[in-house]
Amino acid sequence: MNARRSYNGCRLEFQRVKVVAFKIGLLGLGTVGTGTAEILLSPENRHPLLQELEIHRVGVRDISRSRSLQLPPNVLTTDDLEAIVTDPEIDIVVELIGGLEPARSLILKAIANGKHVVTANKAVIARYGSEIFDAANEKGIYVMLEAAVGGGIPVIQTLKQSLGQNRIQTVTGIVNGTTNYILTRMQTEGADFDEVLEDAQKLGFAEADPTADVDGLDAADKIAILASLAFGGLIKLDDVYCEGIKQVSAADIDYADKLGFVIKLLAIARDNTFSNADRTGGESEQLSLRVHPTLVPKTHPLASVNGVYNAILVEGEPIGQLMLYGRGAGAGPTASAVVSDIMNIAAILKTETIPIPHPLLSCTHQHYCKIAPIEELVTRFYARFLTRDTPGVIGMLGTCFGDRKVSLESVVQTGIHGDLAEIVVVTHDVREGNFQQAIEEIRQMESIDKVASILRVL
Ligand code: HSE
């Protein structure tokens, strides 16, 4: 018998009979797990493929905990997570428990047992992606990770499928909502980092242990994953240069504002073969990969991405600039990404008879990308100095920078702190190694009290 349903405003006609039901084993029933179950349990007015997906078993750490979500009586809940990844009835394991272990082992065991895997676990993929994808390819298994970066933003699928015909030059992202929330509030309230962090923790916008977010480690995991997809190679996480936002002060945000910038934690992956390395003599290796607070011109598309929102700007040839914007975390957006992966796998399972790696959905990279050391980076810098208020200080700074081929775009002396002058410089594009050498010399100068801050400029 045929039935009619509405989806995207279209009247769809389909067979009422469930031809294939794909059985899902859900590991984790926290925020994202609950959001995922809610979508799967309410397929009305979503894509008809959802009708063919069934939650078979749910694995949780603590089975006695009371939960808001009412699972149907036929869904078995267990704290034996291994029983889910080895269950012969399950087709797709959805790993949403987070952390490195037992998540990594469970993913590998699921693959070994012939289950396709969907995960939101950026930490596991950034560290063990090579091991996991090797195992998956050997078994003809899909491991999908849309929810690992950018929450509900479909950036993984965009890089894997929609942009594969482009030569990607840069991927620049605001990929951590916690730090973007903190920096946005510092900007709008003129407040310092510690004050905003404490309040963000009280309001639930920052974790009790915020280290992974504020030190840039979460963003480093994410840019390693994006770079691997954009540039078609494996990435060693240790190769990602990483600085967090703890050292960003209200004073720097204020100076940046006056100079026409906002400060954002950016994760940047760039193919240096597209940059003008000749002019500066830097960036001889293939990629530069970095996470650090950055002065972003107010006119740049990423400058207006505020609060917990994420955005990823991709630049490629021939596409030019493309920016994806949305919620980078939270139950609904992240669950949306998880279920899109489940649907992709289900669609393949419905149409494929031989389990060969789908060329656009699997990860088959074999080689490691060559990453340039940070000293070779070519970028602009912002630096703030506290100096004795004596004649010739600005001249000495200028000479020292000039000796290291660091060309200055602007020098401003604005404030006086007691008997110290505050001098802010912005450079032209320079080689990082040269800039840092100049800074080391400047630190030794008698008339310099302190190098108060150094930030890179987009
Ligand atoms: N801690 C992350 C953030 C959550 O703040 O963006 C999503 O990965």
Whether 244 lines ligand 1, by a CB cut-off of 6 Å, is no
Instruction: Please choose, from the candidates 91, 103, 151, the residue with its C-alpha nearest in 3D space to the C-alpha of residue 128.
Output: 103
Looking at ligand 1, which atom is closest to the CA of residue 329? 7
pLDDT for residue 173: 98
313 and 337 housed in the same domain: no
Rounded to the nearest angstrom, the distance between the alpha carbon of 121 and the centre of ligand 1 is 11
In CATH, what number is assigned to the domain containing residue 29? 3.40.50.720
Mutate to test the pocket of ligand 1, among 119, 176, 338 (most ligand atoms within 8 A of CB): 176
Which residue's CA is the nearest one to ligand 1's atom 2?
176
Whether 210 lines ligand 1, by a CB cut-off of 6 Å, is no
Whether 146 lines ligand 1, by a CB cut-off of 6 Å, is no
- Rounded-to-integer distance, Cα 289 and Cα 225, Å: 11
pLDDT digits (tens, 9 = 90+) for 39-75: 999 999 999 999 999 999 999 999 888 888 999 998 9
Which residue's CA is the nearest one to ligand 1's atom 4?
329
Q: How far is CA 22 from CA 38, 49, 92, 115, in A?
A: 17, 10, 7, 11
DSSP string, 404-436: TT--EEEEEEEEEETTEEEEEEEE-SEEHHHHH
CB 87 within 8 A of CB 25: yes
DSSP string, 212-273: HHHTSHHHHHHHHHHHHHHHTSB--GGGSEE--STT--HHHHHHHHHHTEEEEEEEEEEEGG
Asked if the structure places residue 357 within a domain, the reply is no
Asked if the structure places residue 370 within a domain, the reply is no
pLDDT for residue 278: 46
- Rounded-to-integer distance, Cα 397 and Cα 401, Å: 6
183 and 126 housed in the same domain: no
In CATH, what number is assigned to the domain containing residue 415? 3.30.70.260
134 and 191 housed in the same domain: no
pLDDT for residue 14: 46
Q: How far is CA 395 from CA 115, 174, 253, 448, in A?
A: 67, 37, 26, 13
222: annotated active-site residue: yes
Instruction: Please choose, from the candidates 377, 380, 385, the residue with its C-alpha nearest in 3D space to the C-alpha of residue 433.
Output: 377
Asked if the structure places residue 367 within a domain, the reply is no
Asked if the structure places residue 126 within a domain, the reply is yes
CB 323 within 8 A of CB 311: yes
Q: Which of 122, 160, 222, 264 is catalytic?
A: 222
pLDDT digits (tens, 9 = 90+) for 162-175: 999 999 999 999 99
- Rounded-to-integer distance, Cα 236 and Cα 370, Å: 9
Asked if the structure places residue 366 within a domain, the reply is no
321 and 428 housed in the same domain: no
Rounded to the nearest angstrom, the distance between the alpha carbon of 227 and the centre of ligand 1 is 18
Mean pLDDT of residues grouped by 10 in the chain (458 residues)?
Answer: 49 48 96 97 96 96 89 92 97 97 98 98 97 94 97 97 95 98 97 96 94 98 97 96 97 96 98 64 76 98 97 98 96 97 94 72 83 96 94 94 96 84 96 98 96 98
29 and 121 housed in the same domain: yes
186 and 142 housed in the same domain: no
DSSP three-state, residue 92: strand
User: From the centroid of its chain, how far is CA 372?
Assistant: 20
175 and 322 housed in the same domain: yes
pLDDT digits (tens, 9 = 90+) for 383-408: 999 999 889 999 999 999 999 999 99
Q: How many domains does the chain have?
A: 3
Q: Which domain holds residue 285?
A: 155-327
- List, in order, residues 6 or more apart from 90 with CB less than 8 Å away: 23, 24, 25, 56, 57, 84, 115
Asked if the structure places residue 371 within a domain, the reply is no
Whether 213 lines ligand 1, by a CB cut-off of 6 Å, is yes
Boundary (domain end) residue, out of 351, 385, 408? 351
